[in-house]
Structure 1
Amino acid sequence: MKVLFDTSVLLPALDVKHTQHEACYKLLKNCEANAEVIVLNTHLMAELFNNLTKQPRLAITVAEINLTVHRLADRYVNVELNMTDYLAAIDRCTSLGLRGGVVYDALHFQAAIKAKVNVLYTGNLRDFERLKTEEITFGIKSPY
């Protein structure tokens, strides 16, 4: 099985002080134990770095966060989003009449399409469900 984690799942999995840490960390470890292919995408890496570096409660340096991001990129399957993918995400939002920040979720959604995942894991079910259209066959689930 192939799964994609968005930032709302991977960030809590890494941050032991996050309120959803236990559920997200358990999901990540279960996926690893079941030899599921864990997919990350280029957009996620920037979001993750942004969110981790603005967490004042984390007792790690920016250099350590950088190292963590690099280790994740080395450990899991990476899906690179190119201009065609960004435009497809924007087109999806446009065709569904969606505006604003949902485009960032649409980038994760496009990565899931591109990687042909079975499940996209997110903490924002409502936002991702509204991006789904008839031809989408993967599931959208939350660990919490």
Structure 2
Amino acid sequence: MKAFLDTSVLVATFYAHHEFHRPSIDLFLRFKKNQTCCGAHSLAEVYSSLTGRTGRDRVSGDEAMLFLGDIRERLTIVSLDVQEYFKAIEASSALGIAGGAIYDALLAHCAIKAKAEVIYTWNAKDFTRLGREIAARVKAPAG
């Protein structure tokens, strides 16, 4: 089985005190690199999330880069070329997707490109509205 990990799973993997840490890290460690992937844009989202928090949850850029290195080692990073990017936005527009939801749509299209059978996310509702092909693959990590 090929799995795609959404940014929400990756962020929960990093924080040991996160309510979804255990099922997220179990998932992160379960698969081999050729069996699991994430979207290239998730790297920026993870970096933004880790370095943009307040208080004890905020990490330095160097710490965030170490975690991004772990992601790069463990997961296949999938990106869309210009034509795929445009088609993903066009398909999203046809579904009425607007605003920041386009970023979830782009990640979902990375999952399709990678032929992922399942998209693991803690934000299922954000992905299930992206059409049947995507909705059929969405799952929350077991927890």
Confirm or deny that 1:86 pairs with 2:81. Answer: no
Q: Unpaired segments of 5 or more residues in structure 1?
A: none
User: How many residues align structurally?
Assistant: 141
* C-alpha displacement of 1:74: 2.7
TM-score (norm 1): 0.86
Aligned equivalents of 1:59, 1:52: Cα separation in 2: 6
- Counterpart of 1:39 (choices 33, 37, 42) is 37
- Conservation of the 8 A alpha-carbon contact between 1:117 and 1:138: no
- Conservation of the 8 A alpha-carbon contact between 2:6 and 2:121: yes
Confirm or deny that 1:55 pairs with 2:53. Answer: yes
Cα 1:99/1:136, change in 2 over 3 Å: closer
Q: Give the secondary-structure state (helix, strand or coil) at the position aligned to 2:17.
A: coil
Q: Give the RMSD, CA atoms, in angstroms.
A: 2.2
Higher helix fraction: Structure 1 or Structure 2?
Answer: 2
Q: Unpaired segments of 5 or more residues in structure 2?
A: none
**Equivalent residues in 2 for 1:1-144, closer than 5 Å:** 1-31=1-31, 37-56=35-54, 57-58=56-57, 60-133=59-132, 135=133, 139-143=137-141
Cα 1:40/1:136, change in 2 over 3 Å: closer
Q: Give the secondary-structure state (helix, strand or coil) at the position aligned to 1:100.
A: coil
* C-alpha displacement of 1:82: 2.3
